[in-house]
Amino acid sequence: MSFLDHLTPSDEAEMIRDSATRFTGAVSEAALRQSDGFDADRWVGMADLGWHGILADDAAGGLGLGAAEAAILAYAAGHARLPEPFVASSVTALTALRAAGAGSDVLAGLVAGSRIFAPVGFGLPVGLATPVSAAPDKDGASLCGTVPLCEVGPHTTDLLIFADGPEPMLARLPSGTDGIAITPYRGIDGRHLGKVHLDGYTVGD
């Protein structure tokens, strides 16, 4: 028995747990090896089951549920060793986007699975997060810093960068933005990871 069995004994939570168990139980070891760190069909399957919208509100097409329900899905994904960035994008990034007042159009893409966000400089265990610095310049704010560990890969569509400074900010940029260098590597569990380096990239006002 895990700690999740004591969180939410509601029928809704049980339905989510059962659905997640069926979904992850159908993923074979061979499928995990063949997916090479990310499987687009599996990601779409998560979207179809509402995984990416578990914390999003109705306006973005989400389910509007809470942390307990998200924890059930995170546990299922971790137990099955799914390499897809569910927690990074659909929990950490989505929560930050909502807190920053992102529009429903941005969140809707995440909920549908068409946008995959990589948190940069936040969302990792204490001691591993390395924030970028933001310094005002004539065109807005200049971002500098190297974040050695981010859950970013060829599937990532957007970087969500936390920059610390006189005015902390959360910058959302396409993953292929010029002036941002990403050095890819792989985790021991097969996940796509990367080191993100910014050397004075300017975010406009």
The model's pLDDT over 147-166, given as tens digits with 9 standing for 90+, comes to 999 999 999 999 999 998 88
Indicate if the pLDDT at residue 195 is higher than 80: yes
Report yes or no: 97 and 55 within 8 Å, Cβ to Cβ: no
Indicate if the pLDDT at residue 118 is higher than 80: yes
- Measured CA to CA, the distance from residue 85 to residue 193 in angstroms comes to 10
What's the distance, CA 42 to chain centroid? Answer: 15
Task: Name the percent of the chain in helix, strand, coil, to the closest 5.
Answer: 35, 25, 35
User: Is pTM beyond 0.85 here?
Assistant: yes
User: Residue 125: CB partners within 8 Å, gap ≥ 6?
Assistant: none
Residue 202 confidence class, pLDDT cut points 50, 70, 90: confident
In the chain, the domains with their CATH numbers are 3-115 (1.10.540.10), 118-204 (2.40.110.10)
Upper half-sphere CA count for residue 129 (Cβ side, 13 Å): 17
